[in-house]
Amino acid sequence: MFDNLIARAIVPIAIAVTGFVVFGCILLYSLIQSDMTDEAVGHLDSFAETIVKSTRYAMMKDDRESLRNIVENVGTLAEVEQIRIYDQRGQVRFSGDSREIKPSDDIRPIDGWMKQILLAEPDNQTTTQHRIDREAELITVAMPILNEPQCSTGACHFHAEDEQVLGFLNLGISRKPLEKTLALLRSRMIIFSLMVLFLTVSGVAALLSRNLFQPVLKLTFAAAEAVQGVAAKDLPKADSKLGNLEKDFRLLVQQRDQAWQDQKTASFLLKNGDHGAIPTTTDRDEDAGHRTATPPGSGKNPQA
Amino acid sequence: MPDIEPLRRQVQAKIRKLELRANSGLWILALFTALSLCAFRDFDFLPSFSESLRASLGAGPPVDYINWALVLYGFSAIILVLSQMTGNKEPSCRSALGHFGYLSAFYAFYHFSAGLPENFWAVFTIGMTILSLLSYHIWNHYRERVREEQEILAELDKLLEE
């Protein structure tokens, strides 16, 4: 099935083109996914930065009402799935979901990253933490809310100057819009790849068939006819796509016909001397075993 | 007339050898599929390296660099196999094993750079493409050689009958 001329020409092209197009699409999709996730994380960072600045100002003024209000309002945004402000002990003090705020005597273990930030040198305390939670479909950012000189010296405030971290902000947005965009991109890429594959493979197959396979099949049919004894003039008409091969083949058949004719004439003269009529071309053809060709049709060799 | 039976047996042995070689590409394809199954699970059944060994190996290359290396490798490997096919060069099992080695290295690099889950399908697709092309080339080449040997065998059989 795969070792004839047509398969040998089409199969490698089909495999190479299909494989490379699918590979290219997968890699492109993976790169776009990574770029879009980075973009979403960048957007989330600037969003969190804005919230940190607002909350820091509210903290400086010791305006807990404003702080609660900021957190609750941000929490109502459609894309925001979670917003929490932790204190230095890692306990949730403000949250978009009021059920998450625990009484001050309910102490939970502090998150490892928060502990690390609290113990770090002041220069390393600005590090943010990004998490992509595929199960909960969340992209979260956690960043420390740092103390500032005007904050520590504020008359209203109780934070000491050496307490660099006032608390932590944890902000999470849903991955669903990103996943939706990626799903749309994926389906469009699949449709586009299928179209490219279909056009490439069928285009190459059509060109090969028209310029190579059909002329070869016609020549094969003509050769089979010639073997059966059909004369050169009765062979199916040829096109010029195979160039000299076609011409040389017909020349060979004509030479064979000529040789048969000469042989017939010689044997006739030998038998009857100079008295008999020399046989006509038609007579000679019939005597030589020539038969009329079947009309040229599809170009397919009936015996193949 | 000389005894042609030893020659006949020699040709038959050669046919069997060529038939085995014709299927070697498929074996490598199966090997790659097995490796891909392990890679799909991110090699979670293998014990992880100790911290000291990991530190001595250093950090893996950035995933972007591996992606570009994979594109370059995939493109040149396909061109190489197609040119081998066009030039009707004898394919070797060693070159298929070489491609298997390169693809395994890509899986390993992605694994150590923590980018395997996102890029598994890219390596799998390009690997299947290259190895399928190579298997087809190997199969075609050796099937042709088998056919030639079978013709010789048929001639020898005719001689035996006479």
- Interval A148-159: pLDDT, tens: 666 555 555 555
Q: Where does residue B60 rank: exposed (0-12), middle (13-18), buried (19+ CB within 10 A)?
A: middle
Q: Which of A21, A26, A29 to mutate to probe the B interface, most B CBs <10 Å?
A: A26
Same domain, A27 and A89: yes
A266 interfaces chain B, CB cutoff of 8 Å:
no
Which residues make beta-bridge pairs with A228?
Answer: none
The total number of structural domains in chain B stands at 1
Question: Does residue A90 come out as left (phi exceeding 0), alpha (psi in the -120 to 50 range) or beta?
Answer: left
The reply to whether residue B129 touches residue A26, judged by beta carbons under 8 angstroms, is: no
- At B97, the pLDDT band (50, 70, 90 cuts) reads very high
A253 in helix, strand or coil? helix
Evaluate whether residue A200 is within a structural domain: no
| Chain A residue with minimum CA distance to B66 | A27
- At B27, the pLDDT band (50, 70, 90 cuts) reads very high
- At A299, the pLDDT band (50, 70, 90 cuts) reads very low
Same domain, A167 and A249: no
pLDDT, residue A297, reads 43
Domain termination residue (choose one: A174, A203, A227): A174
Evaluate whether residue B17 is within a structural domain: yes
C-alpha A95/C-alpha A140 separation (Å) is 14
Evaluate whether residue A301 is within a structural domain: no
Token representation of residue B35: 């490796």
Same domain, A120 and A266: no
Radius of gyration in angstroms for the set of CA atoms belonging to chain A, rounded to a whole number: 43
Same domain, A57 and A116: yes
C-alpha B133/C-alpha B135 separation (Å) is 5
Closest CA to B143 of A209, A2, A285: A2
Same domain, A18 and A96: yes
Q: Which of A23, A26, A31, A37 to mutate to probe the B interface, most B CBs <10 Å?
A: A23
Of residues A281 and B81, more confidence is placed in B81
Q: Which residues of B touch A16 (CB under 8 A)?
A: 78, 81-82, 129, 133
Same domain, A170 and A222: no
The total number of structural domains in chain A stands at 2
Q: What is the pTM of this model?
A: 0.70
Which residues make beta-bridge pairs with A131?
Answer: A140
Sheet strands side by side (includes A165-174): A92-95, A80-86, A165-174, A138-146, A129-133
Which of A8, A19, A27 is nearest residue B128 as measured by Cβ atoms? Answer: A19
Q: Which domain, by its residues, includes B139? A: 5-45+61-161
Same domain, A14 and A116: yes
Domain termination residue (choose one: A144, A174, A204): A174
C-alpha A130/C-alpha A173 separation (Å) is 11
A5 interfaces chain B, CB cutoff of 8 Å:
no
Same domain, A155 and A217: no
- At A101, the pLDDT band (50, 70, 90 cuts) reads confident
User: How do beta strands A80-86 and A138-146 pair?
Assistant: unpaired
Q: Which domain, by its residues, includes A24? A: 5-174
Same domain, A28 and A170: yes
- On whether the CB atoms of residues A141 and A168 are closer than 8 A, the answer is no
CATH number for the domain harbouring residue A61: 3.30.450.20
Model confidence over A172-227: pLDDT tens digits?
A: 888 888 889 999 999 999 998 889 888 888 888 888 888 888 888 888 888 898 88
Q: Could you give the ipTM of this predicted complex?
A: 0.76
What's the whole-number mean pLDDT along residues B35-64? 85
B12 interfaces chain A, CB cutoff of 8 Å:
no
Same domain, A167 and A218: no
Which of B63, B70, B132 is nearest residue A15 as measured by Cβ atoms? Answer: B132
The reply to whether residue B82 touches residue A23, judged by beta carbons under 8 angstroms, is: no
| Residue B40, pLDDT above cutoff 90 | yes
C-alpha A284/C-alpha A282 separation (Å) is 5
Q: Which of A201-210, A276-285, B6-15 has the lowest mean pLDDT?
A: A276-285
